[in-house]
Structure 1
Amino acid sequence: MEYSRRKFISFMGLAGIGVFLTPKFLTSCGSTTTPTAGYNTLTNKKIEALKTIVLEGLTPSDKDDLLLANGLNYHTIIKWQDSINETNTFGFNNDFTCFIPLDENNPNDGLLWVNHEYVSPLFVSNFINSEENELEKTKEQVDKEMYNVGGSIVRIKQEKGVWSVVKNDPHNRRITAKTPMKINWDTPIKGATTLIGTNSNCSGGITPWKTFITCEENYDGCFGETEYDVNNIVTHRPSWLGWEKIYNYPPENYGWVVEVNPKDGMAQKHIALGRFAHECCTLYELEDKRVVAYTGDDKNNEHLYKFISSKPGSLKEGTLYVADTINGKWLALDWENQPLLKSKFKDQTEVLIRVREAAKILGATALNRPEDIEIDPITGNVFISLTNNKTKNDFHGSILKLEENNGAFDALTFKASTYIAGGEDNGFSCPDNLAFDLSGNLWITSDMSGNAMNKANKPYFPFKNNSLFVIPRYGKDAGKVIRVASAPKDAELTGPWFSPDGKTLFLSVQHPGEQTKDLKNPTSKWPFDSDNIPKPAVVAITGDLIEKMNKLSIIEA
């Protein structure tokens, strides 16, 4: 797609006085920040200050370190195996992060939720397999792997500019692949109303009622998948982790959006939002307190979904829709009123379990790995990362923009367009997580596969390591894609989330050294612990540049 700064301005929209009216859902729940009261006031003075910011972007790097642009610095908050209380440790491969202040008037003390997406058996369970010697995991090894996924809740506080975990705080707890959780649905799933554990937790969000949302993405890697042929004959596709050989849990227990109460750790799975590889779940609260939830299926040629509740504060009563982006329509995945679905499935529960099939029957648009979804706090436009689709020769991905009809998030029609395409011309590849800061600047992380990065014969070679980018909304750099952080070797940067005052960017460094074959010779040594083993970690990025970029969040005297 042809791209220019002029198009950027028309796509994103520039703000004038009074335009930056952060919607209620962003101040009460949000998807990339949880601003406290009074941090969203727009004035001419602040806009003019934003226009003067000078960004010195990084050049692509393959160095084994977390590199930051001038004006930024970082410190590690928590890393794999760190103790969070007397009995629990921080899990592996941290992904999505979000933060809820304990007191909405104090942005420096609150609860950090962190997803733990998946495990690398070599690191976690010391399991080594090969084509020549197919080994079976022991129950102890599987238990270790199941413990290291799910999520962590930790209380963190900032003192003298440094964020740290409050050890042994009563809120600190782990949610794992063995944590029992109810379903928010009237019909049992495979005969059960309580399911065991959550896994493959990728991105997420926060609800308007201040609970955490975590999304089960590549669940088939844990317990496999149930597959149906044209005659509805059922077979089981094995998982690559092989957990079903020890614990025979149905695959249908996984692939859902999960809600976790930060106060007691109680969790429930929301069946009404459908079962697929959920990358994220981004919520919008309507004026009448009904909820709209956007979520994407992160797989080649899968779909974009939207749930619209029919009752206030419900993620159960309502309708799930799938997007036809060609015709700009939301198609109802409603068994009762869709004859095509009635002819294929026995009831609404089966539609939701097999929602990928249902979406295709209705003619949903196949997309190139829809991942993170964020709502522009200024225009209300919906942005969706389409990471890539190599089967369609889309190696670098793009960002899709949706404009709901009349700006209504419960509308059933919309306009879709490509906001920006990845590639060398625009300086980034494979967009993944998105985040809008308190000034409306767009932040992007990249997700190039570790086995494809820094290979001279691969299309990703010019980009070097995965990175964090920002597209400024104001000033001479408006519309430019600027690299502000470069990840360690094999890693990706995930889960960007801004603190309530906009002065800290929480960020995960996920799977450094993932290509390691021998623990004595890891491909990365970040974060440079004494044991020289790479460890996923959550960092706090601070500095003058973060504060300047969030000028709109600074209260003027």
Structure 2
Amino acid sequence: MKTKKFNRREFISFLGKAGLGTAILPPFLTHCGNISTPSESFQKVGSDDLQKLRDLILEGIEASDKDDLLLANGLNYHTILKWGDQISEKDTFGFNNDFTSFLPLDPANPKDGLLWVNHEYIHPLFVSGFDHFKNDDPATQKTWEQVDKEMYNVGGSIVRIKEEDGKWKVVQGDPHNRRITGQTPIPLNWDSPIKGKSTVMGTNSNCSGGITPWNTFLTCEENYDSYFGETVYDENNDPTHIPSKHGWESFYNNPPEHYGWVVEVDPKDGSAQKHIALGRMAHECCTIYELEDKHVVAYTGDDINDQHLYKFISSQPGSLKEGTLYVADTINGQWLSLDWEGQPILKEKFKDQTEVLVRVREAAKMLGATELNRPEDIEIDPITGHVLVALTNNKPKNDYHGSILKIEETDGKFDSLTFKASTFLAGGEESGFSCPDNLAFDFSGNLWFTSDMSGSAMNKETGPYMAFKNNSLFVVPRIGKDAGKVFRVVSAPRDAELTGPWFSPDGKTLFLSVQHPGEQTRDLANPTSKWPFDEDNIPKPAVVAIQGDLIEKMHKLREIEIES
């Protein structure tokens, strides 16, 4: 695997050395959105271990097209949950698991808690038996039973898990275990109804997410147009409905405007609400930082070609309703207000703030926001506070490999309205990765990220992705002799994508989703993947726990810098 290597001084300077070598405050980590509150013991390293860390040689793995989950030396995995597993007396684990997050029930015990998992979308052939390759009109050719099965298999799962004898297992029969589905009633956190409703049917297209400082889960509705279509407006502001890919609107007459929101779920009772103030778009994630006065800042991106990066700043402590939504002008380094009252140009087209938020993409373009190459996951560097944004690709603009964007808020203030934007890492054969997607920082500030090459494009001899083979998980060490190198540490099964990396509070487990293995399957008797190789002999999305000495050593590498 070819790698892009900075020398130590170049990399630390580029990533940002501010704060390196000083203690990371747990409250900052809590609010970054990609890691749980660390337990007190994760930073403690003895003098003997320090020497071992200095001698650590990090070895990645080569790109592979093998139908298996392959891991670098020093890592191992076990499966926690897979599609169809029973999680309660009435509920089963949904399809195409994506974002994961873990909250311990007791902060003092990092080995027992609640796992949230998104279920992003369905493959009809597997889920409902509808052969979408042979039937091109789901609106008339599907049955109610098939649609109901599909709606059940999206949304999310809350599951209590415990680590026992080194293995994470589901706590069967726990009252927390439940499903949020495409048919769960969910109220809107807004004063005005949306298309006549203040409570809507279900959530779907749940891609990435985040957590809040008050310990609830955030799940984000991304490609909602696949299920209930979309409303588009012409130059006269007249609406037209664009039909969906899966045809659900022919069975349930739900307007598209009920979807495309950030959804908050309370892990204690499964209650949920959709946050209108954060805007309606193909949300990849929602990453929150809490300011000293308890006001919050929420970053989110619209994962579509030529769409935008957004930031919400609350005007009330702990509120995801009261405040202002901004969109990024990355060329001039400005956050542009999407406030209807304060923007005369928005008043010319939209009747009120609700309409601005429902049609936020149009509003953003009217203000001159910068078009970006599919802004996906967003995470905050726990050492410097820089905001990293995965820009997966934009093929029509000849960006096949994507990049990671770095946002430096002015004076390090997350509620600043100005910033500096630069490219952190660019994808391609020289750097060793393509199409970055989900990001995660561990407790030493090492960057971990997954790739998102589409199943139809991978492993094609004439395409731009042949050198990268299957999708993978990568790590970029922050310090030590390998600082700045991109290492592939996990390779996905055939057709699959690795998503939702999330570290346990003790830093010893990386939860990871293996999404859509065998997605190119056209015949259930001949699937393109058979991972995870269970008795059904068909591919199944699953959540795995990755452990091993390598993860623990990566977490503790920072002790070398502290000592020196």
**Which residue of 2 is the match for residue 197 of structure 1?**
202
Superposition pairs for residues 23-62 of structure 1, below 5 Å?
Answer: 24-27=27-30, 30-37=33-40, 39=42, 50-62=53-65
Contact 1:331 1:364 in 2 (8 A): yes
Distance in 1, matches of 2:49 and 2:396, equals: 46
Amino acid at match of 2:122: V
Distance in 2, matches of 1:36 and 1:534, equals: 36
TM-score (norm 2): 0.95
Contact 1:499 1:506 in 2 (8 A): yes
Residue 26 of structure 1, CA deviation: 1.9
**Which residue of 2 is the match for residue 507 of structure 1?**
512
**Which residue of 2 is the match for residue 334 of structure 1?**
339
2:117 aligned counterpart, secondary structure: strand
CA shift in 2, pair 1:457/1:229, >3 Å: same
Contact 2:339 2:353 in 1 (8 A): yes
Q: Percent identity?
A: 74
CA shift in 2, pair 1:46/1:327, >3 Å: farther
Superposition pairs for residues 114-133 of structure 1, below 5 Å?
Answer: 114-130=117-133
Amino acid at match of 1:217: E
Residue 67 of structure 1, CA deviation: 0.1
Distance in 1, matches of 2:45 and 2:367, equals: 44
**Which residue of 1 is the match for residue 447 of structure 2?**
442
Question: How far does the alpha carbon of each residue in 1:318-363 deviate from its partner, in whole angstroms, 9 at most, with x for none?
Answer: 0000000000000000000000001110000000000000000000
2:265 to 248, 260, 266: 260
2:341 aligned counterpart, secondary structure: helix
2:354 aligned counterpart, secondary structure: helix
Contact 1:322 1:332 in 2 (8 A): yes
Distance in 2, matches of 1:3 and 1:395, equals: 23
1:87 to 69, 76, 90: 90
Contact 2:449 2:474 in 1 (8 A): yes
Distance in 2, matches of 1:361 and 1:50, equals: 52
Amino acid at match of 1:103: D
Amino acid at match of 2:512: L
Distance in 2, matches of 1:251 and 1:28, equals: 31
Distance in 1, matches of 2:31 and 2:395, equals: 39
Residue 27 of structure 1, CA deviation: 3.0
Instruction: Confirm or deny that 1:467 pairs with 2:475.
Output: no
Distance in 2, matches of 1:479 and 1:493, equals: 22
Contact 1:502 1:553 in 2 (8 A): no
**Which residue of 2 is the match for residue 529 of structure 1?**
534
**Which residue of 2 is the match for residue 409 of structure 1?**
414
Please list every run of 5 or more consecutive structure 2 residues that lacks an aligned counterpart in the other structure.
none
Question: How far does the alpha carbon of each residue in 1:62-118 deviate from its partner, in whole angstroms, 9 at most, with x for none?
Answer: 000000000000000000000001100000000000000000000000000000000
Distance in 2, matches of 1:499 and 1:351, equals: 39
Instruction: Give the length in aligned residue pairs.
Output: 556
Contact 1:18 1:42 in 2 (8 A): no
Instruction: Confirm or deny that 1:173 pairs with 2:187.
Output: no
Question: How far does the alpha carbon of each residue in 1:376-431 deviate from its partner, in whole angstroms, 9 at most, with x for none?
Answer: 00000000000000010000000000000000000000000000100000000000
Contact 1:34 1:99 in 2 (8 A): no
**Which residue of 2 is the match for residue 451 of structure 1?**
456
Amino acid at match of 2:369: A
Distance in 2, matches of 1:443 and 1:70, equals: 17
Distance in 1, matches of 2:41 and 2:547, equals: 21
Contact 2:26 2:38 in 1 (8 A): no
1:548 to 545, 549, 553: 553
Contact 1:20 1:41 in 2 (8 A): no
Residue 46 of structure 1, CA deviation: 7.9
Distance in 2, matches of 1:168 and 1:309, equals: 39
Residue 365 of structure 1, CA deviation: 0.1
Superposition pairs for residues 178-327 of structure 1, below 5 Å?
Answer: 178-327=183-332
Please list every run of 5 or more consecutive structure 1 residues that lacks an aligned counterpart in the other structure.
none
Distance in 1, matches of 2:20 and 2:427, equals: 32
TM-score (norm 1): 0.96
**Which residue of 1 is the match for residue 503 of structure 2?**
498
Residue 38 of structure 1, CA deviation: 5.3
Instruction: Confirm or deny that 1:154 pairs with 2:164.
Output: no
1:359 aligned counterpart, secondary structure: helix
Amino acid at match of 1:504: T
Distance in 1, matches of 2:215 and 2:185, equals: 21
Instruction: Confirm or deny that 1:351 pairs with 2:364.
Output: no
Contact 2:19 2:384 in 1 (8 A): no
**Which residue of 2 is the match for residue 376 of structure 1?**
381
Instruction: Confirm or deny that 1:77 pairs with 2:80.
Output: yes
Amino acid at match of 1:248: N
Residue 10 of structure 1, CA deviation: 1.4
Contact 1:50 1:474 in 2 (8 A): no
Contact 1:28 1:210 in 2 (8 A): no
Distance in 2, matches of 1:160 and 1:132, equals: 48
Contact 1:430 1:447 in 2 (8 A): yes
**Which residue of 1 is the match for residue 481 of structure 2?**
476
Distance in 2, matches of 1:418 and 1:335, equals: 32
1:22 to 22, 25, 37: 25
- 42-51 vs 255-264, which moves further: 42-51
Contact 1:29 1:210 in 2 (8 A): no
CA shift in 2, pair 1:465/1:285, >3 Å: same
Distance in 2, matches of 1:349 and 1:44, equals: 58
Residue 22 of structure 1, CA deviation: 3.1
Amino acid at match of 1:119: I
Instruction: Confirm or deny that 1:392 pairs with 2:397.
Output: yes
1:514 aligned counterpart, secondary structure: coil
Residue 52 of structure 1, CA deviation: 3.3
- 31-40 vs 547-556, which moves further: 547-556
